[in-house]
Amino acid sequence: GQLMAMERYERLADGSRQEIPEIERRKDDYDALAADHPLKNIIRRCLENDKRLRPTAAHLHVELLGIAERLGIPHQENKDHTACFLAAKELLLSQNQERLRQ
């Protein structure tokens, strides 16, 4: 049947309910990301229904720092990484806006 973006279950013909995979629930948002978006792989893994398959916070931290480094966003060890992440977010947003203008 027709699904609203945030519905977690769909009703089957026999009246039972079936959980909708998170990636399907977020499909429009996920598909809106450019294929080469540096966060697309991380986002996909974070949307896994099985929590055992989702990355831990520690893994995300390391991966995000690696992405920031590849994007040329400087960071300092043992410092609050908020500024680094905010700079990465701004860079990614500006790149996304540039793609939309093309």
d(CA 93, CA 34): 12
Residue 20, exposed/middle/buried by CB under 10 A (0-12, 13-18, 19+)?
middle
- The whole-number pLDDT of residue 45 equals 92
- Supply the pTM of this predicted model: 0.60
What pLDDT digit, counting tens, does each position of 1-13 carry?
A: 444 445 777 777 8
Query: Chain-wide mean pLDDT for the chain?
Result: 78
Question: DSSP assignment, residue 53?
Answer: G
